[in-house]
C-alpha cells in the first residue's frame, strides 16, 4: 500500500533552523494541530507552544470560517494575519488555514504554507481552479457527502491547473448515524492509498465530534496507512468559540502522539519530528 503515493513537500522558514520542509506521503506521519478558529494573539500563541510541545509539526487555525448559521462567529479575517505571521515564525512551524472564496487567496498566500479547502467547498470548482494556478500545497477535505470518486475528481480540478501538490483529508461523511457527528470512513483512506497518487490524512476531530473517540480513531488512522492527522487542540477547550465540544487540551493531544508513534513503529513507519 502507498508505494505509488506522490510526495507533497511543504517548504517554510524557521528562524532558528532556516529553510525547512515537511513531506506528506513518505515514511513520516505528519501531525497538524491547533484551534478550530484563530480567536486572538494570546490564544494562537498558547496553542502554537502547546501543540509543538505535544508533537505537532504543523499549525492549523481558521481565519475565514464556514458557519452553517450566519449569526455564528465567522472568524477574525485579515486582522489576524500580522500576529499569525509572527507566531508561526517564532514557533518555527508551517501554518495551514482554510480559504472559502477565490478572492481571499492573494491575502492568505502571505501567511499560509498550505491552503485548506473545507468539506463544504469540495464542489466549489471555481475555487479549486484558482488554487490550481498556484504551486502552494492544498489540503483538500472530502465533502461530507462526496463519494471517493467525486473527491478524486475534485483533486483533478487542482492538478489540471498545474498544481500537483494536493493532500487529501478524510473528515467523516454524513450518514443516518447520529451518535457521532460524522461517520469517519477509514475505508476511503485505504482505498486512496491503494488506488490514487495522493497522500491522505485524517481529521478525527470532525470525523467523530466526540473527544473520547478521537484517541482511538487517531491510532486507527495510523494503522490503516494514513499519511497524517489534523487535530483540533485548544489551550482552553471549554472557552473555544467554535467546535468547543470536540477540541482537545494539550495533555489529551500529547497522549495521542505518543500512542500513534508506537503504532507507526509497529507498521514500519515513523512520526515526523521537527
Q: Which residues bind its own copies (CB under 8 A)?
A: 1, 66-70, 100-103, 120-121, 123-126, 144-145, 147-150, 153, 156-157, 160, 173-180, 183-191, 193-194, 207-208, 210, 212-213, 215-217, 219-225, 259, 262-263, 265-267
Q: How far is the CB of 73 from its own copies (least distance, A)?
A: 13
Q: How far is the CB of 197 from its own copies (least distance, A)?
A: 16
For its own copies, the closer of residues 46 and 220 by Cβ is 220
For its own copies, the closer of residues 88 and 171 by Cβ is 171
Cell matching residue 113: 504554507
Q: How far is the CB of 183 from its own copies (least distance, A)?
A: 5
Q: Directed axis angle between helix 250-266 and helix 41-53, to 10°? A: 30
Q: Closest by alpha carbon to 6, among 135, 199, 139, 177?
A: 199
Question: Are the CB atoms for 191 and 148 separated by under 8 Å?
Answer: yes
Residue 125, by phi and psi: left (phi above 0), alpha (psi -120 to 50) or beta? alpha
CB atoms within 10 A of CB 223: 14
For its own copies, the closer of residues 54 and 215 by Cβ is 215
For its own copies, the closer of residues 19 and 68 by Cβ is 68
Question: Are the CB atoms for 162 and 133 separated by under 8 Å?
Answer: yes
Residue 215, by phi and psi: left (phi above 0), alpha (psi -120 to 50) or beta? alpha
Q: How far is the CB of 216 from its own copies (least distance, A)?
A: 4
Residue 92, by phi and psi: left (phi above 0), alpha (psi -120 to 50) or beta? left
Contacts of 216 (CB under 8 A, 6+ apart): none
CB atoms within 10 A of CB 57: 23
For its own copies, the closer of residues 16 and 267 by Cβ is 267
Q: How far is the CB of 21 from its own copies (least distance, A)?
A: 27
For its own copies, the closer of residues 7 and 175 by Cβ is 175
Cell matching residue 135: 504551486
For its own copies, the closer of residues 125 and 239 by Cβ is 125
Q: How far is the CB of 72 from its own copies (least distance, A)?
A: 10
Q: How far is the CB of 191 from its own copies (least distance, A)?
A: 6
Amino acid at each position: 500500500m502507498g508505494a505509488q503515493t506522490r510526495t507533497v513537500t511543504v517548504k517554510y522558514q524557521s528562524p532558528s533552523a532556516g529553510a525547512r520542509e515537511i513531506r506528506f506521503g513518505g515514511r513520516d506521519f505528519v501531525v497538524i494541530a491547533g484551534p478550530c478558529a484563530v480567536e486572538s494573539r494570546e490564544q494562537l500563541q498558547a496553542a502554537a507552544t502547546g501543540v509543538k510541545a505535544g508533537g505537532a509539526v504543523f499549525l492549523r487555525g481558521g481565519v475565514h470560517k464556514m458557519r452553517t448559521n450566519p449569526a455564528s462567529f465567522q472568524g477574525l479575517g485579515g486582522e489576524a494575519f500580522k500576529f499569525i505571521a509572527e507566531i508561526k515564525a517564532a514557533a518555527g512551524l508551517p501554518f495551514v488555514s482554510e480559504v472559502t472564496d477565490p478572492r481571499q487567496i492573494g491575502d492568505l498566500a502571505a501567511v499560509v504554507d498550505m491552503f485548506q479547502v473545507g468539506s463544504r467547498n469540495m464542489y466549489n470548482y471555481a475555487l479549486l481552479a484558482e488554487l490550481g494556478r498556484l504551486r502552494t500545497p492544498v489540503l483538500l477535505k472530502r465533502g461530507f457527502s462526496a463519494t471517493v470518486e467525486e473527491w478524486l475528481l475534485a483533486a483533478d480540478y487542482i492538478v489540471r491547473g498545474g498544481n500537483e501538490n494536493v493532500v487529501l483529508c478524510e473528515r467523516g461523511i454524513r450518514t443516518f448515524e447520529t451518535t457521532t457527528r460524522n461517520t469517519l470512513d477509514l475505508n476511503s483512506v485505504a482505498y486512496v492509498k491503494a488506488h490514487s497518487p495522493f497522500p491522505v490524512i485524517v481529521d478525527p476531530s470532525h470525523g467523530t465530534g466526540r473527544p473520547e473517540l478521537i484517541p482511538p480513531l487517531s491510532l486507527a488512522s495510523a494503522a490503516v496507512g494514513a499519511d497524517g492527522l489534523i487535530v483540533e487542540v485548544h489551550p482552553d477547550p471549554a472557552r473555544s468559540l467554535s467546535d468547543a465540544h470536540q477540541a482537545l487540551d494539550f495533555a489529551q493531544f500529547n497522549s495521542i502522539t505518543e500512542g500513534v508513534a508506537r503504532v507507526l513503529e509497529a507498521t514500519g513507519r515513523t512520526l515526523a519530528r521537527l
